[in-house]
Amino acid sequence: MTVENASSAGGTPPADRASGQAEAWAARADAPRYHVLLWPNRSLDPRGRRVVMGLVALGLAVPMIPALGTPVFWGLLPFELVAFGALWLSFRRNDADGRLTEELTLWPDEMRVERREPSGRVLRWRADPYFVRLTLHEDAKVERYLTVKGGGREIELGAFLSPDERVRLAEEIESAIRAALAQGAVAPR
């Protein structure tokens, strides 16, 4: 699971439309009881991508050597360039998709989730942790996907994680909610 635990949410994002309230999504002065930042796994670092691109370029160039100076060379060249370009574009798309993050922050009286999509769009959700319910769904298409329900909405959390990582995340969040509610002694409203 690609997770970073931190101690503060930071920033002052714009108004919170996700919860249906007009109040601002303001930074809080008190430290959260739990904070986790999730992002998709990156299997290749920039150096690894350069190595793969070099090996592919070499692999595409080797069959072209015997065809140098012939009409066959010019017939094969566009297809090889398209193949190499498609690989390059797929790495660019993969990098863009890697900018996706989900940030969960928990206080005794509030739980927030902020999802930053690769397009730059920011989705926000908040609820009172006393009323939050986590559910691991068993579905034929998606194994053990995690949803968080509260504040009048249900959102999916960690869709890019593996099923086992979602189970561990759900257990971790449940434990953090119990601890925050016990420490904050929050009574139902």
Q: List alpha helices for 44-162, DSSP H.
A: 46-61, 71-97
pLDDT in tens, 60-116: 999 899 999 899 999 999 999 999 999 999 998 888 888 899 999 999 999 999 999
* pLDDT tens digits for range 10-27: 333 333 334 333 345 677
Collect all residues with Cβ–Cβ distance below 8 Å to 84 and sequence separation of at least 6: 53, 56, 57, 60
Q: Please give the model's pTM, rounded to 2 decimal places.
A: 0.68
Question: What span, in angstroms and rounded, lies between the C-alpha atoms of 32 and 144?
Answer: 27
